[in-house]
Amino acid sequence: MTLVRQYLRSLLNARKLLLSTFLLCFALMIYTPFLIIVFRSIGRGWFGRLWLPPEYTLDWYQWAIEVTDIVGITKNTLIIAALAVIMATLIGIPTGWAFGRRRIPGKELLMSMILLPRMIPPIAYALGVAQIFYRLQLIDTHFGVALAHVAVCAPYAILVLSATFEGLDERVLEAASVCGAGTLRSFFHVVLPLIFPGILSSMIFTFTTSYNEFTLTLMTYGKDTTTLPVRTYLAIGEGYWEVTSAMSILLIIPSLLVLFLIQRQVAPEKLVGGFKGV
């Protein structure tokens, strides 16, 4: 009996071993490119043949900051992202309200039309956007680039906000009015606290979307509106792999910060559904 049990247990262990091997391989596949960039950005004389760089330096970061004007470019990126967030939120609130709280005939069809810019290949979409923008002279303006980003940001905002508003229970609002709260007070004491996490997560989503957007920026940017992803891409062409790597790392930092904020401040389950029920 004990022999059989031992054999079974070893089988179980073998399965565990297999599982952890797979997980490790998967993690390596995902994280290796990232590790290479990290080492590339802080190593000197590392050509990928050695396991670790022979020498460490922060020069490439200095180069990235000084030579490529990363401060100005970050400013561009943030201005564009902020404009895109504002526009997407202004579009998303009323649209999300209508989708989440009103009966609209053909709601599913409308929703899929709103999501369409996210479905078609960005480059095809960007081509059309660029042609219109040249005619309207919106190329190389912060507003123009942000407007192009709205096409992909707004669907996110609408999706998240309509779920948030849908989760807002009509009965809770009625309870507030029976308790004596007029429109204004029930908005500030009840509605706003309930929808705030939804609005915040919508803004975070649209911010990261705009911040990381590449294709649409590539077709609409100019020398005054270069963003971080585009500049990083251009740096590859200039041939400085180490500087490019350093820029990528700098590019990642704000996204990591946002991710950290999401984890800390907003519970993930509140991100999409809002407060659904009690």
Partner 1 sequence: MSDPMIELRGVTKRYGDVLANDNVTLKIQRGELMTLLGPSGCGKTTALRCITGHNVPDEGEVWIEGRNVTSVPTHKRELGMVFQNFALFPHMTVFDNVEFPLMIRRMDKRERRERVMEALRLIRMEQYEKHYPREVSGGQQQRVGLARALVYRPKVLLLDEPLSNLDAKLREEMRFEIRDLIDRLGITAVYVTHDQAEALALSDRVAVMSAGHIEQVGTPDEIYDYPQSRFVADFIGLSDFVEAAVISLDSAGEMVTVQAKGLEILISGRRNMSPGQSVLLFVRPNDVELLPASSEAGTNVFLGEVEKMTYLGDRNDYRIVLGDGLRLRVQTDGKVRFNECERVKVYLPPALCRVILE
Question: Which of 59, 185, 255, 263 touches partner 1 by CB under 8 A?
Answer: 185
Is the alpha carbon torsion for 195, 196, 197, 200 positive or negative? positive
Choose which of 178, 237, 253, 264 interacts with partner 1 (CB under 8 A): 178
Given 63, 187, 233, 275, the residue binding partner 1 (CB under 8 A):
275
Which residue, chain included where needed, has tokens 């200039």? 238
In Å, how far are 39, 60, 204, 233, 234 from 237, measured between CA atoms?
20, 16, 31, 7, 5
Find all residues with CB under 8 Å of 220, minimum gap 6, and list them.
126, 129, 130, 133, 138, 139, 140, 144, 145, 148
Q: Is 199 in the site for partner 1 (CB under 8 A)?
A: no
Smallest distance, Å, CB 178 to partner 1?
Answer: 4
Report if residue 181 touches partner 1, rule: CB under 8 A.
yes
174 is an interface residue for partner 1 by CB under 8 A: yes
Q: Which is nearer to partner 1, 237 or 277 (CB)?
A: 277
Q: Which listed range, 24-32, 106-114, 182-190, 256-264, lies at the site for partner 1 (CB under 8 A)? A: 182-190
Task: Tell me if 269 contacts partner 1 by CB under 8 A.
Answer: no
Helix 241-265 to helix 59-67 angle (10° resolution) is 90
What backbone torsions phi and psi does residue 43 show, to the nearest 5 degrees?
-110, 155
What are the percentages of helix, strand and coil residues in the chain, rounded to 5? 80, 0, 20
Our CB check for partner 1 shows the closer of 147 and 271 to be: 271
The distance of closest approach from Cβ of residue 218 to partner 1 in the complex, given in angstroms and rounded to an integer, is 43
Q: Give 94 or 193: the residue with its C-beta nearer to partner 1.
A: 193
Residues that bind partner 1 (CB under 8 A): 169, 171-172, 174-182, 185-186, 189-190, 193-194, 275, 277-278
